[in-house]
Amino acid sequence: MEIVKARKLTKSYGKKQSATQVLKGIDLDVQSGEFVGIMGPSGSGKTTLLNVLCSIDTYTSGVVEINGNSLQDLKSKELSKLRRTEMGFIFQDYNLLDTLTVKENILLPLAVNKTKKDEAEARCQELVKQLGIEGILNQYPNEISGGQKQRTAAARALIMKPSIIFGDEPTGALDSKSAAALLESIEKLNKANHITIMMVTHDAVAASYCSRVLFLKDGKIYTELYKGEHSRTEFFQQIMNTQAVLGGEPNEA
């Protein structure tokens, strides 16, 4: 089943002759259950692509569909509902509310959606166990580590059972150990629950957890790699080789 569909997608900033075209006619399909990484040199358009696909930013022309819903045809309230029910978001800066406990942060989307208490509690307990944060539910964001904050953010993103999770450099602020723990948790959830994920990253190690990696260059999809039956180490090396061809430092944002 197709979760994300983009056709002839363009995005420009500025007006008329002074406009800068960032995305240049991208065609893209993401199937249910895929874990897709988006990579490319600085300025290639990878974050812009993620932002227009998840409706954080508008696109200039083309078509974007999320789970069969055409973004351009939706009114403001319909788009808000789509974001709330079909999409989850994990970003580099966590976006947790400091005045709420870990548990309250995770349950917030369900509270907004007026989900029954018993169902909300059951979903929360299942997720925190899968993400290994069941022991910090009563703590506040300023009392936990960066890795724990990001896993809390992941639980909050997953609690509504969205069709797709969008991640923008979710491991960017984490040390290597915390990043690996988060990625292993996300990878397990992707495989066990068939959760669809799209993640922008500059890090080849993070990308090696994906099932497919798209490489952008100058606003277009330059190439893509499929993990297939390769080990994560083998896939990592393929990603590094492609980055070398594209240019730029392997850890360039």
pLDDT, tens digit, for every residue of 18-64?
Answer: 889 999 999 999 999 999 999 999 999 999 999 999 999 999 999 99
Residue 133 lies in a domain: no
Asked if 164 contacts 67 with a C-beta cutoff of 8 angstroms, the reply is yes
Residue ranges with strand state E in the chain: 2-13, 20-31, 35-39, 61-66, 69-70, 87-91, 164-168, 196-200, 212-217, 220-226
Provide the pLDDT for residue 17.
Answer: 79
If one counts the domains in the chain, the total is 1
Return the closest-CA partner of residue 121 out of 139, 143, 106, 142: 106
Residue 119 lies in a domain: no
| List of the chain residues with pLDDT < 50 | 249-253
Strand duo 35-39 + 164-168: pairing: unpaired
Rounded Cα distance between 71 and 83, Å, is: 10
Residue 238: CB partners within 8 Å, gap ≥ 6? 225, 230
The CATH number assigned to the domain holding 242 equals 3.40.50.300
Residue 252 lies in a domain: no
Return the closest-CA partner of residue 167 out of 90, 83, 56, 57: 90
Sign of CA dihedral 16, 20, 22, 26: positive
* Parent domain of 35: 2-94+162-246
Residue 115 lies in a domain: no
Provide the pLDDT for residue 249.
Answer: 47
Return the closest-CA partner of residue 89 out of 169, 9, 193: 169
Length of the chain equals 253
Phi/psi at 54 (5° precision): -95, 10
Asked if 67 contacts 44 with a C-beta cutoff of 8 angstroms, the reply is no
Phi/psi at 169 (5° precision): 50, 50
Rounded Cα distance between 23 and 11, Å, is: 5
Crossing angle of the two packed helices 117-131 and 176-193, in degrees rounded to 10: 130
Residue 230 lies in a domain: yes
Residue 81 lies in a domain: yes
Residue 222 lies in a domain: yes
Residue 17 DSSP label: G
Tell me the pTM: 0.90
Rounded Cα distance between 191 and 196, Å, is: 9
Residue 156 lies in a domain: no
Q: Which amino acid is at 209?
A: Y
